[in-house]
């Protein structure tokens, strides 16, 4: 059997729930645990690993609907496997849990292909840059001022990451004065040269977001994420055309058509490979954004995105999201170091990560 015909075997799937290191909330949601669903897929002598941050039910989708669509296919033909999975979840509905499950499998298949070819994933995809900018992301609305300052200090002055993002829109936009006080405090901590971003997670109304955006400009905030609900495209357009900050959204996009609808309302497209259809669809989203003169930013799951992010010319940055970066550090050997504000995803084969299965068994729920 040649490498060109090496068949995909039945995926192994597991799920883990990890408590946060402190209570967390943004403008519209609060949580104290994060669940990650991991799939390991073997073909020939190699095994690829992929994951998504989603309910454990995503594991059932992989076992019951996606596995049959890919088993026996060539491990080198990832786009064909991706198409087969999209067809398999047609009646179940791709957006949501099915999309997350599909994404985990797709990420694993790209890792598997690179390992079969014994090359780093970034070399398989082809690098457009040697290093990838990151921004520290956290600053949850539940943090007291000391906690917020410590986190920002760690990124900016400890790891020398020159870009950071905090959450605003507390209590569905009902605490604007505190939002702006926290932004001012963040600006004071990081200094005048640091890039300061905010994420409202869709908490504000349209005109409210415009008013907040004017105040953010005075604090030199350069990135206003989801100022209104991400499916309110008219609202995003209004805010984008009115405020100085760049308006970004897209983390809840589950397919290319969704991104196509959003692009005219944005300054920068976000896409999450652990939701939108894996690296296959994330790369397509990047090309779509470039065709419209926009950059793309990778949402969350920094290690899942690093190689693909390095392969696109219109990348803005990767989100070094506190929860996901913490879990990936716990779960994998071979994690990247964001010291200096960028990472280099070129070490080892595949995405360079090895699952620490025994060490994380305490968190396993499935």
In sequence order, what DSSP letters do the residues of 244-289 get, joined into one string? SSEEEE-TT--SHHHHHHHGGG-SEEEE-TTTTTHHHHHHHHHHHH
Average pLDDT (105-124) is 98
Sign (positive/negative) of CA torsion 164, 351, 279, 35? negative
Average pLDDT (75-102) is 97
Given a cut of 90, whether residue 359 has pLDDT beyond it is: yes
Average pLDDT (192-208) is 98
The tens digit of pLDDT for each residue in 259-291 reads 999 999 999 999 999 999 999 999 999 999 999
The predicted structure's pLDDT at residue 219: 98
The answer to whether the CB of 115 falls within 8 A of the CB of 349 is yes
The predicted structure's pLDDT at residue 4: 62
Contacts for 150 with CB less than 8 Å, ≥ 6 apart? none
Angstrom distance (rounded) from CA 125 to CA 273: 15
The predicted structure's pLDDT at residue 5: 79
Burial 283-301 (b: 16+ CB within 10 A, else e): bbbbebbbeeebbbbbbbb
Query: What is the spatial order of strands in the sheet that 46-53 belongs to?
Result: 12-25, 30-43, 46-53
Residues found in the chain: 366
Angstrom distance (rounded) from CA 189 to CA 291: 38
Burial class (CB in 10 A: 0-12, 13-18, 19+), 242: middle
CB neighbours of residue 13 within 10 Å: 24
Contacts for 248 with CB less than 8 Å, ≥ 6 apart? 223, 224, 225, 226, 266, 267, 268, 269, 270, 297
Q: Among residues of the chain, what percentage have pLDDT more than 90?
A: 99
User: Terminus-to-terminus CA distance in the chain, angstroms?
Assistant: 34
Given a cut of 60, whether residue 198 has pLDDT beyond it is: yes
The tens digit of pLDDT for each residue in 297-324 reads 999 999 999 999 999 999 999 999 999 9
The predicted structure's pLDDT at residue 1: 38
Angstrom distance (rounded) from CA 10 to CA 223: 42
The tens digit of pLDDT for each residue in 132-144 reads 999 999 999 999 9
Which pair of tokens denotes residue 40?
């390991």
pLDDT tier for residue 104 given thresholds of 50, 70 and 90:
very high
Q: Average pLDDT over the chain, rounded to whole?
A: 97
DSSP per residue, 154-182: IIIIIS---EEEEE--HHHHT-HHHHHHH
The answer to whether the CB of 307 falls within 8 A of the CB of 345 is yes
DSSP per residue, 66-135: IHHHHTTSBTT-HHHHHHHHHHHTTTT-STTHHHHHHHHHHHHHHHHHHHHTTSBHHHHH--S-SSEEEE
Given a cut of 60, whether residue 12 has pLDDT beyond it is: yes
The predicted structure's pLDDT at residue 3: 45
Residues of the chain by 3-state class (helix, strand, coil), percent to 5: 40, 25, 35
The tens digit of pLDDT for each residue in 24-83 reads 999 999 999 999 999 999 999 999 999 999 999 999 999 999 999 999 999 999 999 999
Average pLDDT (125-152) is 98
């Amino acid at each position: 059997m040649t490498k060109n015909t090496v068949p995909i075997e039945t995926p192994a799937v597991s799920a883990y729930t990890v408590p946060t290191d402190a209570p967390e909330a943004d403008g519209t949601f609060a949580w104290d645990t994060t669940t990650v669903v991991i799939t390991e897929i073997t073909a020939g002598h190699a095994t690829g690993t992929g994951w998504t941050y989603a309910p454990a039910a995503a594991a059932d989708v992989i076992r019951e609907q996606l596995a049959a669509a890919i088993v026996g296919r060539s491990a080198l033909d990832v786009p064909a496997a991706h198409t087969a999975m999209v067809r398999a979840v047609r009646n179940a509905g791709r957006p949501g849990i099915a999309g997350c499950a599909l994404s985990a499998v797709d990420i694993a298949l790209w890792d598997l292909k690179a390992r079969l070819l014994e090359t780093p994933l970034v070399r398989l995809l082809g690098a457009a840059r040697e290093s990838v900018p990151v921004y520290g992301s956290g600053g949850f609305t539940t943090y007291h001022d000391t906690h917020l300052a410590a986190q920002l200090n760690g990124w900016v002055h400890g790891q020398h990451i020159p870009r950071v993002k905090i959450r605003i829109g507390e209590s569905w936009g009902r605490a604007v004065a505190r939002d702006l006080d926290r932004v001012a405090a963040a600006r004071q901590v990081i200094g005048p040269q640091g890039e300061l971003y905010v994420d409202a997670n869709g908490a504000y109304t349209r005109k409210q977001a415009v008013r907040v955006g004017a105040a953010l400009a005075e604090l030199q905030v350069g990135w206003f994420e989801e100022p209104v609900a991400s499916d309110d495209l008219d609202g995003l357009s209004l805010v984008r055309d009115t405020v100085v900050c760049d308006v970004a959204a897209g983390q809840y996009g589950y397919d290319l058509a969704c991104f196509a609808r959003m692009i005219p309302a944005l300054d920068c497209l976000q896409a999450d490979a652990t939701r939108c259809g894996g690296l296959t669809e994330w790369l397509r989203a990047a090309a779509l954004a470039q065709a419209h003169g926009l950059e793309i930013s990778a949402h969350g799951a920094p290690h899942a995105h690093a190689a693909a992010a390095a392969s696109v010319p219109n990348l803005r940055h990767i989100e070094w999201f506190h929860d996901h970066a913490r879990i990936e550090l716990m779960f994998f050997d071979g994690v990247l170091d964001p010291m200096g504000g960028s990472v280099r995803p070129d070490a080892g084969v595949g995405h360079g990560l090895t699952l620490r299965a025994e060490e994380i068994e305490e968190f396993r729920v499935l």
